[in-house]
Amino acid sequence: MLQRGYAAMTMEAVARQAGVAKKTVYRFAPDREALFGLIVKNWTDTFLPAFTTEAASAEEVPAILEAILSTIAERVLCEDAIGLFRLLVDDIPAREDILSIYDRNGVERSRALLADWLARHKVRGLIDVADPTMASDLILSMVIAEPLRRIALGLVEPLPATDIRPRIKAALALLRL
């Protein structure tokens, strides 16, 4: 898909690339839109384990949040993810549907996972955020959205060539987390 574009991502092409029967691909997804959703969901699945780490004290929160955000950044600011983002910006068939799938399985899922983590730690009195959902949105905007824009424009290199940790630390310090 990244090499040939979304239009060339047929179920037959995916099966051929994977070296499996087309019937096998259809077992996972009924169409390419669903397959695209699985691809994005699989990327966000890779950072699910990071959200299981619980802070035992308020002092542990920044380091754990930094690790969580680094894990997200490593996945969504890498060359493949940037390629996918650039593909989405182009005029592709069923663009609105694809953007909705990307948003639901990538952006919104990440936001919800982080908001849930923040809410759990707020309830335990380890962080002081008025609205965990808003805090999640702000954190991801600072740590992910702006670097994504700059990388997609070619102004900076994708991860791992770019060190995202100073930005993560600055965002958490700004939000006093």
Domain ranges of the chain: 31-174
Which tens digits make up the pLDDT trace of 147-165?
A: 999 999 999 999 999 999 9
C-alpha distances (whole Å) from 77 to each of 51, 106, 154, 175 are 18, 12, 12, 22
| CATH number at 31-174 | 1.10.357.10
DSSP 157: P
Average pLDDT, the chain: 93
Which tens digits make up the pLDDT trace of 66-97?
A: 999 999 999 999 999 998 898 888 877 788 89
Q: Sign of the CA dihedral 86, 88, 89, 90?
A: positive
Six-digit token string for 29 = 């997804």
